[in-house]
Amino acid sequence: MKQLNKYNAGWLALSVIIYFVVQMLIQADVIDYYYQITLMNICMDIILALGLNLIIGFTGQFSLGHAGFMSIGAYCCAIMMLKMPDLTGFLLGLLLGVIVASLVALIVAIPTLRLKGDYLAIATLGISEIIRIAILNMGDLTNGAAGLSGMPILNNWTLSFFGIMLSLIIIVNYIKSSPGRATIAIREDEIAAESMGINTTKYKTIAFVIGAFTASIAGSLYASSFSMIKPDNFGFMKSVDILIIVVFGGLGSVTGTIIAAISLGILNMLLQPFGQLRMIIYAIALIAIMVFKPGGLLQHKELSMKKLFGRLSKKNTPKKEASK
Amino acid sequence: MDQFLQQVVNGLSLGSIYALLALGYTMVYGIIKLINFAHGEIYMVGAYVGYTAIQNWGLGLIPALFIAMTFCAVLGVLIERVAYRPLRNATRIAALITAIGVSFLLQYVMILFMGPDVRTFPETVPAKIFKFGGVQVNEQQIYIFVISIILMFLLQFIVKKTKMGKAMRAVSVDSDAAKLMGINVDTTISFTFALGSALAGAAGVLVGVYYNSINPLMGAAPGLKAFVAAVFGGIGLIPGAMLGGLSIGVTEIMVSGYASSLIKDAVVYAILILVLLIKPSGLLGKNKKEKV
């Protein structure tokens, strides 16, 4: 097994470098408290969008209910942290959230994933609304529309970074595994995949559960970033925000999703001073991007270390020959 | 029994507003397979145009309704030209994101011009109450019933009896074949948007009359409900949208009346999911076999 070939090592090195550079910028106060909130939001969006891209971009199943699973993670983690306001509480809450979200996704996926296209979209939208309304009506446990408050703020760059890495490792490894290829085959042509003996329901369900799993991680980070959460934070608009990132980055492109989450997060921050005009500019930008680049930034493609190394060595070889 | 009938009457009046909205969704979906998320915002614009016509220009309900419908029809055609037409051959999800962008744009432009506050819709219909046995029907509800029934009949007439309606049906079955038969597909799609948006504008004015209050974000929730209604009845089908709208309205009022208004949306969605699981193409939809 050559798990650690030079491409993977390249990615690993790149992520370690990014981690330390950002950490140093935070230490040096270049990234102050205000920017750190943007940073946390971008990190959560990356995790959410990666999970949704697995469902929409790689499996071809249209889900409009991603925020529902995020809210499960957020509430589980918040409830645990209110009982145990330290890192152990956070980790236990994360674990609980991931388990509950995956179970709910499993129960929901088996019947609804028989639906196709827009019907599936509306069913998943309905499920996330049902989750939201259930949370609203759970009495003291979730404290209704007012939401929970008083959680310790534990989230920082290190925690967010590990969240991203965990989701990335799970999702990228899944895509590159044999079940992952079966999943992509379902996206390309469900009937053809089925006739090749692929159990389409099984792989669609796996992808859906992994998506919910990562959404729950993001939800836990959300609960520990802000000291209060309420059901309205996880409504239809949140699902739409994630969907926009996925489509903007390109369906079926992991690196595209990351780039899109970062650029949309920065765009949002830069537009903050414009006040009322902010959403108008954002909306026009959204329409313009879709009209001129309907496939998203990277379309199906990925930024890859393989190509980068290939390009570098191509550039180097002629030089060596010339020097000879 | 009286209480039950009363709930049915209230449900039907809410349901006819949903049905008017759902018709626009379903027609646009039927013809270009786009979930037009901006539809709820067109309804909001309609409410504001009606408000301006009544409050500032001192017009009555019927002229205000006509102005709102015309304005919305023009707006709908404009949106289709600028935002959706360039994406006709792109993926459906790109068109969907554009629709969401348009809906943000309409919401926040309205906030910019009219402010974010809730406005009181001027009273144009006297609040008279008629009693049929134990059931109370107020005059607003009668206006809503009568206007929506007239509009639905008008729509049915346009779609079934006119040349343009024939073209609409042809394009929705197969747009390439329709083009080969000499139908101007672009004009037909524009006409569909005009028709659907006009109905949304009418729904906006009626909702203003019924609830007496309007705000720039009022379109989002009913827009979503109307889409649910369209799917419920079988998306792309005009009778399906009417049936879906009315049943969603009645269900919602029944749940609020007999259980709790907090869970009404959850019940609506749960019923929707059940219907889809049993009949995946909606109540009136025909299940098409997929061919390879």
Give A16-29 pLDDT, tens digit per residue.
888 888 888 888 88
pLDDT for position B287: 66
Residue of A58, A108, A114, A118 to mutate, interface with B, max B Cβ within 10 Å: A118
| Contact A290/B at CB under 8 A | yes
Query: Would you say A183 and A60 are in contact if contact means Cβ atoms under 8 Å apart?
Result: no
Contact residues on chain A for B289, CB-CB shorter than 8 A: none
Please report where in the chains the tokens 């039950």 appear, as a residue: B4
In angstroms, the CA A250 to CA B70 distance is 38
Q: How far is CA B68 from CA B47, B145, B200, B230, B253, in A?
A: 7, 18, 9, 23, 27
Tens of pLDDT, residue by residue over B178-229, are 999 999 999 999 999 999 999 999 999 999 988 888 998 888 888 888 888 8
CA geometry: angle A127, A129, A131, nearest 5 deg: 70
Tens of pLDDT, residue by residue over A58-78, are 998 888 889 999 999 999 999
CB-CB under 8 Å, B273 with A127: yes
Give B238's contacts (C-beta < 8 A, 6+ positions apart). Answer: B23, B26, B27, B155, B156, B159
Tens of pLDDT, residue by residue over B218-276, are 888 888 888 888 888 888 888 889 899 999 999 999 998 888 888 888 888 888 888 88
Residue A195 token pair: 């006739």
pLDDT for position A319: 41
pLDDT for position A121: 84
Tens of pLDDT, residue by residue over A119-135, are 888 889 889 999 999 99
Neighbour-count burial for B255-282, b at 16+ CB within 10 Å, e otherwise: bbbeeeeebbbbbbbbbbbebbeeeebb
In angstroms, the CA A287 to CA A20 distance is 36
Q: How far is CA A156 from CA A4, A153, A320, B20, in A?
A: 29, 9, 46, 49
In angstroms, the CA B219 to CA B253 distance is 19
Looking at every residue in chain A, the average pLDDT score rounds to 86
Predicted ipTM?
0.82
pLDDT for position A217: 94
Contact residues on chain B for A290, CB-CB shorter than 8 A: 87, 90, 94-95, 97-98, 101
* Maximum alpha-carbon separation in chain B: 60
Residue A204 domain flag: yes
Backbone φ and ψ for B134, nearest 5 degrees, come out as -95, 0
- A residues 233..262 contacting B (CB < 8 A): 236, 240, 243-244, 247-248, 251
Count other C-beta atoms under 10 Å from residue A321's C-beta. 8
Give B12's contacts (C-beta < 8 A, 6+ positions apart). Answer: B145, B246, B249, B250
Residues A81-101 have a mean pLDDT of 91
Give the gap in angstroms from C-alpha A296 to the nearest C-alpha of chain B: 8
pLDDT for position A321: 39
Residue A164 domain flag: yes
In angstroms, the CA A59 to CA A181 distance is 10
Contact residues on chain A for B98, CB-CB shorter than 8 A: 286-287, 290-291
Contact residues on chain B for A236, CB-CB shorter than 8 A: 220, 224
Residue A99 token pair: 């388990």
Please report where in the chains the tokens 């939208």 appear, as a residue: A125
Please report where in the chains the tokens 């197969």 appear, as a residue: B174
Return the DSSP state at B134: T
Looking at every residue in chain B, the average pLDDT score rounds to 88
pLDDT for position A324: 35
Q: How far is CA A185 from CA A131, A204, A236, B52, B289, in A?
A: 31, 11, 29, 54, 21
Residue of A63, A132, A251, A291 to mutate, interface with B, max B Cβ within 10 Å: A291
Dihedral angle, C-alpha B13, B72, B46, B101, nearest 10 °: 110
CB-CB under 8 Å, A294 with B280: no
Cβ-nearest to B94 among A125, A282, A290: A290
Backbone φ and ψ for A145, nearest 5 degrees, come out as -70, -25
CB-CB under 8 Å, A240 with B100: yes
CA geometry: angle A119, A124, A129, nearest 5 deg: 125
How many contacts (CB atoms, under 8 Å) link A and B? 118
Dihedral angle, C-alpha A280, A286, A287, A290, nearest 10 °: 180
Residues B131-140 have a mean pLDDT of 82
HEC assignment per residue over B27-74: HHHHHHCCCCCCHHHHHHHHHHHHHHHHHCCCCCHHHHHHHHHHHHHH
Give B173's contacts (C-beta < 8 A, 6+ positions apart). Answer: none
CB-CB under 8 Å, B102 with A280: no
Query: Would you say A44 and A221 are in contact if contact means Cβ atoms under 8 Å apart?
Result: yes
pLDDT for position A323: 37
pLDDT for position B227: 86
Burial of B291 (0-12, 13-18, 19+ CB in 10 A): exposed
Cβ-nearest to B276 among A115, A130, A244: A115
Residue A37: band (very low, low, confident or very high) from pLDDT cuts 50, 70, 90: confident
CB-CB under 8 Å, B292 with A251: no
Residue A151: band (very low, low, confident or very high) from pLDDT cuts 50, 70, 90: confident
In angstroms, the CA A224 to CA A298 distance is 32
Count other C-beta atoms under 10 Å from residue B85's C-beta. 14
CB-CB under 8 Å, B280 with A114: yes
Tens of pLDDT, residue by residue over A255-304, are 999 999 999 898 888 888 887 788 888 888 888 888 888 777 777 777 77
In angstroms, the CA B45 to CA B35 distance is 19
Residue A296 token pair: 């998203």
Give the gap in angstroms from C-alpha B263 to the nearest C-alpha of chain A: 7
Q: Which residue has the higher pLDDT, B150 or A4?
A: B150
Cβ-nearest to A115 among B35, B98, B280: B280
- A residues 101..140 contacting B (CB < 8 A): 111-112, 114-116, 118-119, 121-123, 125-127, 129-130, 133-134, 136-137
Query: How many domains does chain A contain in total?
Result: 1
CA geometry: angle B201, B204, B210, nearest 5 deg: 145
In angstroms, the CA A135 to CA A142 distance is 6
**pLDDT tops 80 at residue B280:** no
**pLDDT tops 70 at residue A3:** no
**pLDDT tops 70 at residue B291:** no
| Contact B112/A at CB under 8 A | yes
Contact residues on chain B for A56, CB-CB shorter than 8 A: 93
Residue A222 domain flag: yes
**Could you tell me the sign of the dihedral formed by the alpha carbons of B158, B78, B228, B231, in that order?**
positive
pLDDT for position A2: 52
Residue A20 token pair: 């330390």
In chain B, beta strands by DSSP E: 119-120, 129-132, 135-138, 213-214
Query: What are the sequence ranges of the domains in chain B?
Result: 16-219
| Contact A283/B at CB under 8 A | yes
Give the gap in angstroms from C-alpha A13 to the nearest C-alpha of chain B: 35
* DSSP three-state, residue A171: helix
Residue A320 domain flag: no
Write the DSSP string, A253-320.
-HHHHHHHHHHHHHHHHHHGGGTTHHHHHHHHHHHHHHHH-TT-SSTT----HHHHHHHHHHHHHHHH
Residue B288: band (very low, low, confident or very high) from pLDDT cuts 50, 70, 90: low
User: CA of A126: which chain B residue's CA is closest?
Assistant: B269
**pLDDT tops 50 at residue A150:** yes
Cβ-nearest to A137 among B220, B262, B273: B262
Residue A322: band (very low, low, confident or very high) from pLDDT cuts 50, 70, 90: very low
Burial of A208 (0-12, 13-18, 19+ CB in 10 A): buried
Residue of B87, B269, B290, B291 to mutate, interface with A, max A Cβ within 10 Å: B269
Percent of chain A, pLDDT > 90? 38
CB-CB under 8 Å, A248 with B231: no
| Contact B274/A at CB under 8 A | no
In angstroms, the CA A248 to CA A250 distance is 6
A35-39, A106-110, A113-117, B27-31, range with the lowest pLDDT: A113-117
In angstroms, the CA A265 to CA A242 distance is 11
Closest residue by Cα to residue B95 from A177, A289, A103? A289
Give B193's contacts (C-beta < 8 A, 6+ positions apart). Answer: B28, B73, B76, B77, B79, B80
Boundaries of domain holding A77: 36-236
